[in-house]
Amino acid sequence: MSKLAGKIAWVTGAGTGIGEGAAHALAAEGATVILTGRRPGPLKDVAAAITAAGGKAHAKAGDMTDAAVVQGIADWIVKKFKRLDIFVANAGINILDRSWDKISPLGIDTVLHGNLDSVFYGAIAVLPAMRKQGGGQIIVTASMAGRWVGLMSGPAYVAAKHGVVAACHTINMQECVNNIRCTAVLPGEVATPILDKRPVPVSPEERAKMAQKEDVGDLIRYIACLPDHITINEVMITPTWNRGYVAALQRAGV
């Protein structure tokens, strides 16, 4: 039997990238997957692909930076399926003009709302149902930028992802007594559409060496399949050909 049979999983940012990979992986393991993102078209495409493969998926479009919308989707899930077992908070965004000499108030709001506020809104929307049913799991796509400070991702993104990692640990600190677990997943470079927002373009050859959405999706599936008494608080996943390491070797002349 599939390990997640009978489980209800809500995946945000599910139309592309890591969210898409996670949705496919969770559905293949037997979960019924609810897909959320801003654009209905990609969500419907992912849902159709999952269904064609024998899985169960429902597209529910919405903006995760709107607290009322987030709560409304959570309420819809609980009303329809009577439970919510897994919440994959994956929605995220970055901007091109991200450095201190270029970023604007609008850019700051875009990055903080899209990466930090969205996680908080999702968490407070799903936690009551998880407490009531006696447990649940939250898996958050953070970033290596949430553990180490650097300039590449931009200060707003780094700050938001540090906040996300901290939030995950505080969920475990408070909700462990309610059998609720939270994992911060810290990917390195992943070949997803967010790379299109890089100020310096990333070539197809470089993207091919990066972690892929299926790789991170499978890690999320693994975390979701762990027994209730086990929590992976924080985990990193990076490409073997790590461009940061390679650049450091080149600078060192190794």
Determine phi and psi for 92, rounding to 5 degrees: -165, 165
Quick one: which of 164, 180, 169, 125 has its CA closest to 10?
125
In the residue annotation, 222 being an active-site residue is answered as no
Instruction: Scan for tokens 């700051």, then name that residue.
Output: 108
Q: What is the DSSP string of 43-70?
A: HHHHHHHHHHTT-EEEE----TT-HHHH
Active-site entry in 121, 157, 222, 245 = 157
User: CB 149: neighbour CB atoms within 10 A?
Assistant: 11
Two structure tokens written together for 127: 């936690």
Instruction: Scan for tokens 């908080």, then name that residue.
Output: 120
* Residues labelled as active-site residues: 157
